[in-house]
Structure formats: C-alpha cells, structure tokens
Amino acid sequence: MKPIDSFLIDRPVSSSWLSRPGVEKFLLILVDLVALAAAFVLGAMASFSIRHVPIEDNAVTWWQVQDPVRLQCFFILALLTIAAFWGKGHYTRRRPYSNEVREVLGISVILIFLDAALVFFGKWQFSRAALALTWTFAPMLLLALRAITKLALIRMGAWLRPMVVVGWGENAIETARAFEDERLMGYVLLAFLVPQDRPRLDLALVDRFGRQVPSIRLSKKVDSVLDSLGNPHVVLALEQGGVDHYQDLIQDLGRRQRRIQVVPSMRGLPLYGMEVDHFFGHEVLLLTVRNNLARRLPRLIKRAFDIVVSTCALILGAPLLLWIAVRVAASGGPIFFGHKRQGQHNKTFACYKFRTMAPNAEQLLQDVLANDPAAREEWERDFKLKNDPRITPIGKFLRKTSMDELPQLWNVLKGDMSLVGPRPVITAELERYGNQVDYYFEAKPGITGLWQISGRNDITYDTRVYLDTWYVKNWSLFNDIVILLRTFKVIFRRDGAY
C-alpha cells in the first residue's frame, strides 16, 4: 500500500472543523436564510423605487407598509423553503449544479404562488410588485450565495470529500470528467479502482489540482483498500455487462458503504427527463426515455421562446446592427453574406452573416490551399483556417466577438434556425456525422449551441458531433437558457474564436 499512502499525503482534503457535515449543513441553511431575508428586503426596497418613494423615506415607509402578520408569514414561508430544500437533499447530498438550479427555480415558483394566495386571502395591503420582486431575487440570491459559500469553504480546505471511481473503461473516464467539471460538488478524485482481471486505465487523467489520478488494482480485500484511501465516497462506473460479472464486488461495496452511486453505461440514450420505475419483488429497473424534440408541446415552447427572444434582441440591438453594417460596407462589397446550409429535415436555407471576408475570398482560398499543405490539411480536417487570409480587419473583430452571426436572429425569426441548436453545416460536412446525422436533421440549427460553450473551434470535429447529438437527445428549455447565458461568458473570454 505504499504508493497509495504516498499519494494521500498530498491529497487536498481537509480535516478541519469546517469540513464536518454538521457544520457544513448549518452554514448552508444559514446562507439560505440570509438569502431569503435579503430577497424580502430588496423586493420591498425595489418596489419603493418603482413607486418613486424617495430614498430618505424608505426606512419610514418600510415600517408603515410591513404588517407584522406579513413578516411572520414570510418567516414561515422561509422555513417551508428550507424544509423543501432539505427534502430535495440540498443540505445532505451533493448534487450537480444544474439539478440544484432547476430545483431552486421550481421551488421558488411554487412559493410565489403560495405567497400570493396567502396575501390575497389574508387581504393584506401589500405591494404586488414587492411580492413578485422578492421571489425573483430569491433564487438568484440563493444560488449566488450558495456558490460563493462553497467556493470559500473549498479555498479554506473544507467542503472537500475524497472519492474513487470503480471502473476500467470509457464509462469510468467520462464519470471522472463529469465530477471534475462539477467543482461545487466538492469531490476530489483520489484514484480509479480497477478489478484484478481488468487492465489498468491507459489514459492519464489530470485533475483540477494538477495531479495525475492513479489507477489502483482492486484486490479481494476491498475494506483494506478503501481504509487506506481514507474511506472515500464510491462511484461505480462499470462497462456494459460489468454489473452482472462483478456481483460479489458490488455486494461488498454495498455492505460497507452507507451510500454508493452507480453510473450505468448508457451512452447514446436520451438522459434528460428519464423516468425510473421498479417492480415489486423483482430486480428489474424500468427506464422510460423521452425524445423531447419529437413531441409537439416542447417544439411549440422552443419556437415561442425563439420568437420572443429574437424579436427583443433585434429591436434592442438595432443601433449596434446599424453601426456594424456601416463598417462592413466601408470595406467594400455587400454587407450581408448568405451561405447555404443544411437545416432541419435536410432543408437547405441561406444562413445570414455580416460579411467578414474580402470580395475575392474564393480565389484567395484556392491559392492558399494550393500553396500551403498545412493549411490544406487543416481545411480538410475542420473546414476552417485559424489564420485565414480572406478575413478583413473588421471581419476579424466580428469573428472574435461572434457579432458576425447577429443577422442569424432574422433566420430564427423566419423559422430556419433556433437560438440554440446544432451548428449549421454545409452539405459536405454531413458525412462527418455518420449514423448520428438523423439527430442533426431532427432539430433546427442554432446561433449558439453546446459545442460553442465547450471550446468552439478548439475542440475536434468528432467531439462537436457528440455534443450536437447530446443536445438534441437531451433538449429542455432550461438547457437552452443555460447555454445562452454561458455563451456570453465564452464570447467575453473569446475562447476558441477565430
């Protein structure tokens, strides 16, 4: 066990009093109560501003409009909110952040209707604007303060838990990467535990602390291995057929661990909204998967969202669009460029962009491909050139900021595209999708998408295909909103843009 012990010396897992589960629960509950109280105060103060109450009169007005019964009622609602979060496991289990966000928003929606019903039936003279603003601020403050608290605890060495992944293949690697991406969960991957009859993992995984995660042979003495690792949290990520083959191992882990997590090998299935059912008296797990974009209501919701957001963006962004149009026109040639792309159901459409290339771009491309083998190889691989001689000075700026794609808002309004979806491709690229091309045809291409927020042009084409198909299989309006918000972050940082 010497290699394991030497590895654990440098593991970033603290034993300070802050890392005790009881202390962590208390801090998270306290932070949530502070967030709810702050939302209540900010909601009232914002309603004063809407009604043009002078700032110096806010303190007086506060006590004039706040009924003590109303304050008591909100306190009870805050306790109900904490109880709902506890029931969802927000203080006792570590959840992926997207799930936590979805549940916080869902509980907040329920609470605003409950609060409104109490105000209505109680006949309180209370500002409806204050009520709406309170429950608008609440989820934002809850999520922000939780994230800040967890990050602060991590910096102090708390909120960290050791974990191991039991597995030997692609499922184990993907599981490890998923946990690495969820920093706020606080798990620190110590090692891969590989059954004796399986080969060690060839792929070296470096975690966010810059450490190479080792692959450790899992002997029949499971207890001794886990004890030497500090009794970590166990995640079982076996390959297909592994559950049947390693029943004894699973039983040993189940007897020792109060709770283990299992990541079944289910690549290719739609995971979002999957329903789980059990049969009484049988070891049968029934999974119901749904293709959301094949259903009418989700398609209508997505289309309505596209129309509302694109219309607002075109109206509010009109001055910026006009400024860009003037600058592009000054470089000579047309302002807009409509490139033929393949859309939903393999329908060809003109994908609009601000022109970023010189008028003789096609000739310039042929010249560079004929004279530069490296550029020709890059073009055949990615259909893009990092140092493209065809791009104008204003075009470079537009591409770096992705503002060259703003005219695609018109494509969205017309119905050719969506705000979020697979990247629109030309006919020659369809063969790169292989047997996944049907997923591409199922959805409308998007101005932004999952691959754009995952590295854009810095990721491989195969990864891009995987991300596009994952998006289609797991579509939800919540995912669209998250991708749109993260797109602004990527554009600001200019990750992978050229």
- For the chain, domains (ranges, CATH) are 17-155 (no CATH), 160-267 (3.40.50.720), 296-356+391-493 (no CATH)
Report yes or no: 126 and 118 within 8 Å, Cβ to Cβ: no
One-letter amino acid at 454 equals: S
Query: What is the Cα–Cα distance from 259 to 94, expressed in whole angstroms?
Result: 12
pLDDT beneath 50: ranges in the chain: 1-11, 55, 59-61, 63-65
DSSP 391: B
The C-alpha atoms of residue 140 and residue 365 are separated, in whole angstroms, by 48
pLDDT at 209: 75
Within a 10 A sphere around the Cβ of 494, how many other Cβ atoms?
Answer: 13
Query: What integer pLDDT is reported at residue 2 of this predicted model?
Result: 38
Strand partners, 379: none
Q: Rounded to whole angstroms, how far apart are CA atoms 162 and 66?
A: 48
Which pair of tokens denotes residue 356?
């970023």
C-alpha 105/C-alpha 111 separation (Å) is 10
Q: Give the C-alpha separation, 26 to 91, whole Å.
A: 9
End-to-end, the C-alpha distance of the chain in Å comes to 49
Q: Alpha carbon 270 to chain centroid distance?
A: 16
Q: What is the pLDDT of residue 144?
A: 92
Instruction: Look at residue 245 and give its three-state secondary structure.
Output: helix
* Sign of the C-alpha dihedral computed for residues 364, 320, 399 and 439 taken in this order: negative
Query: Distance between alpha carbon 39 and the CA centroid of its chain, in Å?
Result: 25
Which DSSP letter does residue 15 get?
-
Hey, what amino acid is at 109?
A: V
Residues in the chain: 498
Separation between Cα atoms, residue 230 and residue 8, nearest integer Å: 8
Q: Answer yes or no: are the C-beta atoms of 250 and 227 closer than 8 Å.
A: no
**What is the per-residue pLDDT for 341?**
93
Task: Quickly list H helices, 88-127.
Answer: 97-122
Q: Angle CA(228)–CA(233)–CA(237) in degrees, nearest 5?
A: 105
Counts of helices then strands in the chain (DSSP H, E) = 19, 13
The answer to whether 264 and 467 are in contact (CB under 8 A) is no
Q: What does the pLDDT read at residue 5? A: 39
Tokens of 33: 């109560």
Q: 16: exposed, middle or buried (C-beta count within 10 Å: 0-12, 13-18, 19+)?
A: exposed
CA dihedral (460, 461, 465, 471) positive or negative = positive
Read off φ and ψ for residue 474, nearest 5 degrees: -120, 35
Q: Residue 159 carries which DSSP code?
A: S
